[in-house]
A and B are shown apart, each in its own frame.
Chain A
Amino acid sequence: QVQLSQWGAGLLKPSETLSLTCAVYGGSFSGHYWSWIRQPPGKGLEWIGEINHSGGTKYNPSLKSRVTISVDTSKNQFSLKMSSVTAADTAVYYCARGDDGGNSAGYWGQGTLVTVSS
């Protein structure tokens, strides 16, 4: 059974760097797409980006300049870094696993609330 467990700092000051990690349990780590998605309080979902099994990345154009997604295959983990955060980055951040064939995000992490406040 596939499970994604995520963690990271929940309170940041403006201009700091957001850093989240997602660990994958069950199933293989290779051969999948690993994504980050966020949801501001009371609002809809926003796709942040993904990394594939070969290390190739795709990012939301509106966030691309501040976002880096990476993988550590030795630990079955992948990570999100977002620089220069502002209050607008306050959201619940989710990690997710996708697969070939247009399956963008079949398995999800539990979500991490990140608040940006001075």
Chain B
Amino acid sequence: QTVVTQEPSLTVSPGGTVTLTCASSTGAVTSSYYPNWFQQKPGQAPRALIYSTSNKHSWTPAQFSGSLLGDKAALTLSGVQPEDEAEYYCLLYYGGAWVFGGGTKLIVL
């Protein structure tokens, strides 16, 4: 069974920069996995931020960027604001199915 792994939680100071990563149990994550990233705040539906590694939706704030970092997919938040505190999920494509990571709780403190 394929497992997608994210940091359970990360803490960042307001105004700082933080990078969240997304690893695959099958090996290195490449652009062929079409990494997607989502933000979810309590009581809300997830909001799409990044698709296909680094592409932003029209509504994605400029402070969010996606990339490949080593053998993982990565989401970087720059100039973090208190309202960026949320759960962040990555999603990878395995040919016949998509698999979510377990999520990273980002704490802004």
Could you list which residues of chain A lie within 8 angstroms of chain B, going by C-beta atoms? 35, 37, 44-47, 49-50, 58-62, 94, 101-111
Contact = CB atoms under 8 A, between A and B. Distances in A.
Given A44-B103, A45-B89, A105-B36, A61 B97 contact: yes
Interface residues of B, number: 25
Nearest to A46: B100
Contact of A108 (B48, B89, B102): B48
23 contacts: A35-B98, A44-B89, A44-B100, A44-B103, A45-B100, A45-B103, A47-B100, A58-B97, A62-B1, A94-B45, A94-B46, A101-B52, A102-B51, A102-B55, A102-B93, A103-B36, A103-B55, A104-B91, A105-B36, A105-B38, A106-B48, A108-B47, A109-B45
B91 A108 contact: no
Nearest to B32: A102
Interface of B: 1, 34, 36, 38, 40, 45-48, 51-53, 55, 57, 89, 91, 93, 96-103
Contacts of A111: 45
A61 B2 CA distance: 11
B45 A106 contact: no
A58 B45 contact: no
Nearest to B46: A108
B97 A60 contact: yes
A108 B36 contact: no
Contacts of B99: 47
Given A46-B100, A102-B55, A104-B91, 19 more contacts: A35-B98, A45-B46, A45-B89, A45-B103, A47-B91, A49-B97, A60-B97, A94-B45, A101-B51, A102-B34, A102-B51, A103-B55, A104-B34, A104-B51, A104-B98, A105-B38, A105-B46, A105-B48, A108-B48
